[in-house]
Amino acid sequence: LTTIATINKAIAWLAEQTRGKSAFGGTRVIAAAPAERHAAAARLMPEIRGLIGQDEKKVGHFDDSPEVLEFVSSTRLEELAALGTSCPDHFLRTKIRPLVLQSDASDLPALLATYRAGYAAYYERCRHPDSPAMRDPNPVVFLVPGTGMITFARDKATARIAGEFYKNAINVMRGASTVDTYVALPEQEAFNIEYWLLEEAKLQRMPKPKSLAGRVALVTGGAGGIGSAIARRYLSEGACVVLADVDLKSLDGMVENLGAAYGKDNVRGVLVDVTDEHAVARAFAAATLEYGGIDILVSNAGISSASPIEDTALEVWDRNMDILAKGYFLVSREAFRLMKRQQTGGAIVFIASKNGLAASPNASAYCTAKAAEIHLARCLALEGAPLGIRVNTVNPDAVLRGSKIWVGEWREQRAAAYRMKPDELEEHYRQRSMLKKSVFPEDVAEAAYFLASDLSGKSTGNIINVDAGNAVSFTR
């Protein structure tokens, strides 16, 4: 017989032997509805992430597939999970045992402490004189009755693959325990494989983590020129990025483009109107369900308008305030709520404007709203400091290329304000600057990267002007 034929024969036999039999001792917990499962996971994942990510940030993955739900809702869940996995390929990814939780997370700190102590004891019992040092004692796989399986690892792909491997372990346990008795690998044999010197050598040769590895960023206005440039910069440094935008077509296209360039696991998109507090909450919940939490918020969603004050309609004023002031408030409030639960600090970056510091003719609504953003950032820097949440601002000026707001009326309105043709505007701004340079989305992205990274770990409440130099916007 060929290998494939033998496997197929075994599959057919197992299907026949298990037909009509109750797996895992039957159901103990009724699985919650999908929306309830997702909400429970989104609540639980930041709590886990904070407690296991104090030394090294981790990215999460959630699985509530039928195979997983059958196991985590079963009578024999805790008994079988405690036995450990039976295949070396499994526990090299998943650790030898998972941690079984309850959805309310009330006992999570104690359970984690017990798990870590148990892992340390396992290491001490089984180690050899030449064994590598003990690795991270935190669990990789978390099983939540009635909800699903959560996995955490150094990046999204590794977390996802760990979940896939444990799902294979579930299938092994299902078949073995239904037809006979499931037996895991002996503890010493499992240790010898987990701490195999050749495996350690492979781990030591892995590339050094990039500066934003394990971090998750949410970027509003993520499908636009500045937002997508920031996303690219963060992705290039190892972050996972959630693009949030109100333009679904542009959002889908940008997610596809960035996923092709940086890996589909690392990019997600969420449709959101930043003026709607419920939509903002849903966006953060979706991001949390995908990656386990958020470390970086870039508030960048924007519009523009220009008209003399006597011609500025109330609707125009309100729209500027809604998107540029209220929108920044709503996403920041949600970020604070989440980061406070994670207890690992965070970085919030506002993309404001030179016009938040310097008055401009015929743009009172826009300038006033941008000034509100800057002062909101200062207030949040005060509130965030005790929590390790840093809040800083980037003030760009005249970023015409790749920017949605410079397409159409805004360009024409600003050109009219300076009594010139629209196609002369970019050169006007370049010549107006002290350095005589144009400003591009990538320039803004560099500042946003600096403020999100550990390079600025001792900076909060600050403003970086990315405007090629304008004396009127010097901070005082």
- For residue 86, what pLDDT is reported? 82
Q: Does domain 22-204 have CATH number 3.40.225?
A: yes
- pLDDT band at residue 285, thresholds of 50, 70 and 90? very high
**What pLDDT was estimated at residue 404?**
65
Q: Above 80 in pLDDT, residue 130?
A: yes
**Which of these, 456, 450, 403, 444, lies nearest to 230 by C-alpha position?**
444
DSSP of 298-353: EE-------B-GGG--HHHHHHHIIIIIIHHHHHHHHHHHHHHHHTS-EEEEEE--
Kindly report the CATH class assigned to 216-473: alpha beta
Give the mean pLDDT of 394-415: 74
Give me the sheet containing 267-271, strands edge to edge.
Answer: 267-271, 240-245, 216-220, 296-299, 346-351, 389-396, 463-466
CB 47 within 8 A of CB 341: yes
Could you count the other beta carbons within 10 Å of the beta carbon of residue 472? Answer: 11
pLDDT digits (tens, 9 = 90+) for 6-39: 888 888 888 887 887 888 999 999 999 999 999 9
For residues 192-217, give the mean pLDDT. 92
Average pLDDT, the chain: 93
d(CA 447, CA 89): 42
Q: Which residues pair with 463 in a beta bridge?
A: 393
pLDDT grade for 403, boundaries at 50, 70 and 90: low
Ranking 57-61, 160-164, 400-404 by mean pLDDT, the lowest is: 400-404
Phi-psi region of 308 (alpha: psi -120 to 50; beta: other; left: phi over 0): beta
Give the span between the Cα atoms of 199 and 109, in whole angstroms: 31
Over 90: is that where the pLDDT of 132 sits?
A: yes
Residue 402 has a pLDDT of: 67
Q: What share of the chain in percent tops pLDDT 70?
A: 97
Mean pLDDT value of segment 292-310: 93
- Residues with Cβ < 8 Å from 407, sequence gap 6 or more? none
pLDDT band at residue 432, thresholds of 50, 70 and 90?
confident
pLDDT above 70 (res 250): yes
pLDDT higher than threshold 90 for residue 360: no
Matching residue, tokens 């542009």: 250
What tokens were used for 85?
């996995």
pLDDT of residue 1: 63
Is the pLDDT at 430 greater than 90, yes or no?
A: no
Q: What is the pLDDT of residue 429?
A: 80
Average pLDDT value for residue range 256-276: 98
Beta bridge partners of 245: 271
85 pLDDT higher than 90: no
Per-residue model confidence (pLDDT) at position 343:
95
Instruction: Determine the pLDDT at residue 106.
Output: 78
pLDDT of amino acid 31: 94
For 35-44, 49-58, 159-168, 412-421, which range has the lowest pLDDT when averaged over its residues? 412-421
Domain ranges for the chain: 22-204, 216-473
pLDDT of residue 103: 66
Predicted TM-score (pTM) of the model is: 0.93
Res. 270: pLDDT tops 90: yes
Model confidence at 145: pLDDT above 90: yes
Residue 90: pLDDT band (50, 70, 90) is confident
Which of the four pLDDT bands, split at 50, 70 and 90, describes residue 89? Answer: confident
Where residue 202 falls among pLDDT bands split at 50, 70, 90? confident
Radius of gyration of the chain (CA): 26
DSSP assignment of 170-221 equals: HHHHHHHHHHS---PPPHHHHHHHHT-HHHHHHHHTSPPPPTTTT-EEEEET
What is the b/e burial string over 414-447, where b = at least 16 CB atoms within 10 angstroms of the residue's CB? Answer: bbebeeeeeeebbeebbeebeeeebbbbbbbbbb
Sign of torsion, CA 86 99 242 381?
A: negative
pLDDT band at 405 (very low <50, low <70, confident <90, very high): low
What tens digit of pLDDT does each residue of 30-81 get? Answer: 999 999 999 999 999 999 999 999 889 999 999 999 999 999 999 999 999 9
Per-residue pLDDT at 134 exceeds 90 = yes
- Which amino acid is residue 180, in one-letter code? D
Residue 233, pLDDT above cutoff 70: yes
Q: Which residues are designated catalytic? A: 366
Q: Cα separations (Å) of 40 from 37, 49, 107, 128, 271? A: 5, 14, 15, 41, 21
Res 289: pLDDT: 98
